[in-house]
Amino acid sequence: MKLTLEGLKDREGWKKAGVVLPSYDIAAARAETIRNPVWVHFGAGNIFRMFIGGIAETLLEKGFSKTGIVCAETFSFDMINEIYRPYDNLVLGVTLKPDGSVAKQVIGSLAEAISSTPAVPEAWARMKEIFASKSLQLISFTITEKGYALKNSSGDFFPYIVSDIEKGPEGAVSAMGQVTALLFHRFKSGALPLAVVSMDNCSHNGEKLKNSVTEMADEWLKRGFVTKDFISYISDESRVSFPWTMIDKITPRPSVEIGKKLEDSGIESMQPFVTEKKTFIAPFVNAEGPQYLVVEDRFPNGRPPLEKAGVYMTGRDTVNNVERMKVTTCLNPLHTALAVYGCLLKYTLIADEMKDRELSELVHRIGPVEGMPVVTDPKILSPKDFVNEVITMRLPNPFVPDTPQRIACDTSQKVGIRFGETIKSYVAKDGSASSLNAIPLAIAGWCRYLLAVDDEGNPFELSPDPMLEELCGKLKGIVWNKPESYTGQLKEILSNERIFGIDLYKAGLGEKIESFFREELAGPGAVRAALKKHLA
């Protein structure tokens, strides 16, 4: 059996393989999507394919929607060419349960896939056509937090953003440049209303998205590419809204073992592979079962009935509280701590780290102990129950093949939210965050990780991070097994408010982190010894 529209005709074979197929008319839904697009999503990766695509799938299955999603990719065009088109935009979603069983479902809601860029006239013309459609209600994003960044840590525009600014709307290649250009086209097509919805895992995501779009537009205004009326259009949330959201679903890289099991069940060509841009991808997506999406209900052109698919629709304050609960306390800080220490201690599976006495204690201290006192209860979800589910069920799930190496990606873009927000809350509450112990230990672990030497003195490859070269450069002169080689090199990092959202020395933590870092430099087993000492 093949994961194609033609292959789905063998419904009995798919049933024997334990796979649930769409019951609605996929061809009709796709045709209607092309005629009357309602939803465009930027970022064609795994969490979108299974979670967001799954939401649209549920609405189609239950008859609450007649259209699917238009998938737009502004960067990894190989995703479209190698994982969408050969499989007719179908996705095989595999839910990994703690008991080892799986649930398998074909998702057919990804109606159209576009490699979005002005460099391809046909694709760009289609994107403009979609953005001029009265039917379009929302555009959403899972492009990771760095996808919204226009400037580096020094406050200067990235070179590719400078290029977009100078070339204007018709020459934009970045995600933010393209979106701003397409919004300008929608403005010129009647100033039609629209919701612009970040579904990325970062604090105040709607605010970040709006700030990036308006900053790009302001730069174009200075150069005469757009008008003041356009600035007014995107600044008026009764016409263009930027709802805040909170998303949560652990979606690790595809498992080779899962691919083999799918092939053994009779489904062809299921093995993961690496694309031209080094993306590890597969025709299937494997993920945990628990999932949460909380969305600010601000949609000026209407919206699909997302609540019918399990989405929490609420107000901005509630979204903010849920997001803070999850991103700054109950999950993401725990993940980051496990990621950096997992690399240092040679772990390759997050679930195995939860069997480690010190690491299990570390995440317990970071979340329930240090983070919980400053979390505002969002009411719609219990922080205590949420973090308990994370620590006792989700992170220890041995059948979720998530790795510390994956989670360690882009840590410089995350620590300000995952740790910095809690630190700022303590400063606001107590005047200092000096009472914290586990959180500074996690930050020290990240700094120690940046040396790219594990706890036994062996080199390892650092995960991708846009600030990697800059950060590693600041650590020059520090030598593993020689604590005396540390002469204050961390100071520029720990005092950088662009990284942490606060000067950690002013917060009362800089010297403590330096001390932990020095201890973790002291030869084989020093990282483990520091964890044991400070988590006793």
The confidence score (pLDDT) of residue 278 equals 78
The confidence score (pLDDT) of residue 280 equals 85
Q: Is the pLDDT of residue 442 over 80?
A: yes
* pLDDT tens-digit map of 151-197: 987 889 999 999 999 999 999 999 999 999 999 999 999 999 999 99
* pLDDT tens-digit map of 112-156: 999 999 999 999 999 999 999 999 999 999 999 889 999 987 889
Mean pLDDT of 371-386: 93
Residue percentage of the chain with pLDDT more than 70: 100
Mean pLDDT of 478-506: 97
Confidence of residue 106 (pLDDT cuts 50, 70, 90): very high
348 and 461 in contact (C-beta within 8 Å)?
no
* pLDDT tens-digit map of 232-282: 999 999 999 999 999 999 998 899 999 999 999 999 999 999 887 778 899
201 and 190 in contact (C-beta within 8 Å)?
no
Chain-centre distance of CA 143, in angstroms? Answer: 7
Q: Is the pLDDT of residue 439 over 90?
A: yes
- Cβ neighbors of 328 (< 8 A, separation 6 or more) are 203, 371, 375, 417, 418, 419, 421, 422
To the nearest whole number, what is the mean pLDDT of the chain? 96
Q: Is the pLDDT of residue 75 over 90?
A: no
Mean pLDDT of 39-61: 97
142 and 48 in contact (C-beta within 8 Å)?
yes
Q: Is the pLDDT of residue 110 over 90?
A: yes
Three-class SS of residue 525?
Answer: coil
Report which of residues 493 and 536 the model is more confident about.
Answer: 493
Q: Is the pLDDT of residue 471 over 80?
A: yes
The confidence score (pLDDT) of residue 312 equals 97
* pLDDT tens-digit map of 296-310: 999 999 999 999 999
- Cβ neighbors of 492 (< 8 A, separation 6 or more) are 474
